[in-house]
Structures are given as structure tokens and as C-alpha cells.
Amino acid sequence: MIRILAVDDEKPITELLRVSLSRAGYQCVCVYDGVSAANMIEKETFDLVLLDIMLPGIDGFELMDYIRQTGIPVIFLTAKNAVADRVKGLRMGAEDYIVKPFDVLELLARVDGVLRRHGKLDTNIRIDDLEINTLSMQVFRKGEEIPLTRKEYDLLLLFAQNVGVVLSKMTIYERVWGGEYPENTRTVELHIQRMKKKLNWDDKIRPVYGMGYRLEE
């Protein structure tokens, strides 16, 4: 299992990261200061570090110097939004720089992107008897391909990467179609219905009244 170390002194943030990453299929370990993070990295193995800058003891920039020697990819996750701080973080070797407050789905997408660049993600996602190959963008059940349109595939991948998470229509539209969610559109509902029919997933993706849709665990 992919192991991610979250380093942040704000416990509500680390708890949000722990829950969100766990639901996405990752193991998340949380620490709250730079010294504890350095000790944890020395003792254990991690595939990615989510690192705040403003930490007690050793700050994130100082800790980055140590982490860089280990080869573990780092995403800075911080309230410091000045361009100079972003440039400094990226020049120090960080893979990405995300400013708080952040959208959880965007964070997960960036985490996936970094892990994929470093060859740490399995190219196959399995849900029950369904297999999604993220390299060929094909979907199989028991070895037989299920033909999906590009939008249907993107919808399926979004749900597969957020099992158990309620996705609003607005979030789904922004992630799959891009741009601002238009009023009085049934695009999301119609595409989900067609996708569910092709996958025989009437009981897997369920509407959550007044909120959106969820792929059942």
C-alpha cells in the first residue's frame, strides 16, 4: 500500500488528510512538527510527503533539505501563498505547491499525479470484478472490455478514485467537463445513467439526496 506522511501542526488539517487519503486507498501517517517528521522518515518508508512550511521546531524549508536526500517526493501544503515562497519551494525540489485552503479532490488529483510520475501507482484499479487500466484507458470485466466514451471513462475514474466520497454535481462537472457548472443542465445525470447501465452498476453509484452521488464501498 502507498504510504504518505502528512506533516502539519494543524490537527484538523491532518485529520482531513488522513480521512481523505484513506478513503482514496492510501495509508496516511500524521505528525505535527519538523523534528517528529525527520525521525519518522529516518525509521520508516514513505512514498510521498505532504509538508507544511510553518512548523514548530524545524520549518518545512529546513526539513525539505533533509527529505531531498532520501529521494521521497514532496508536495508543499501551506498557507504561504507568496510567489517567492512557491518559487523557493519548487526550486528546492518539491514536486508541487498547494495553497490552503485547498479542495480535497484537487489535492487527491495532484497526489495521484506525483505518485504516477514516480512510478508508484498501480496502473490497474480494481473494484469488485471491474478492472480499470489507467494507461490504456480501458475497462474490463472478467477479461472482456466494456466500451465507454471518454466522458464515461473520466466519470468512472473520478468515482473509482473517491470510493465512499459524496461528489456533488458541480464537482463532477468541473472535474470531468471543466469550466463552471451551468444551471439547469442534466448532463451529469444523463452521463452517470448511461455509465451505470453499461457497467451494470445500478446498486453501486447511488444518489445522495440534495448532495450528489457516491460510489458505495
Mean pLDDT of 8-24: 89
pLDDT band, residue 122 (cuts 50/70/90): low
pLDDT band, residue 201 (cuts 50/70/90): very high
159's grid cell:
468515482
pLDDT for 164 equals 86
Interatomic CA distance for residues 214 and 153, integer angstroms: 16
Phi, psi of 134 (to 5 degrees): -80, -15
Mean pLDDT of 61-73: 92
Helix 150-160 to helix 187-199 angle (10° resolution) is 80
pLDDT value at 40 more than 80: yes
Average pLDDT value over all residues in the chain: 89
pLDDT for 162 equals 84
Q: Return the SS3 of 28.
A: strand
pLDDT for 16 equals 92
pLDDT for 38 equals 93
Q: Are 41 and 72 in contact (CB under 8 A)?
A: yes
Q: Are 114 and 95 in contact (CB under 8 A)?
A: yes
pLDDT band, residue 197 (cuts 50/70/90): very high
Q: What is the pLDDT of residues 90-120, one digit of tens each?
A: 999 999 999 998 888 889 889 988 998 887 7
Mean pLDDT of 60-87: 90
Mean pLDDT of 178-192: 86
Mean pLDDT of 166-193: 87
79's grid cell:
498557507
CA dihedral 184, 186, 187, 189 (to 10 degrees): 140
Closest Cα to residue 3, out of 52, 53, 41? 41
Distance in angstroms between the alpha carbons of the first and the last residue of the chain: 18
pLDDT value at 192 more than 90: yes
Set out the domains of the chain in order of their start, with CATH numbers. 3-117 (3.40.50.2300), 124-215 (1.10.10.10)
pLDDT value at 10 more than 70: yes
Interatomic CA distance for residues 73 and 93, integer angstroms: 8
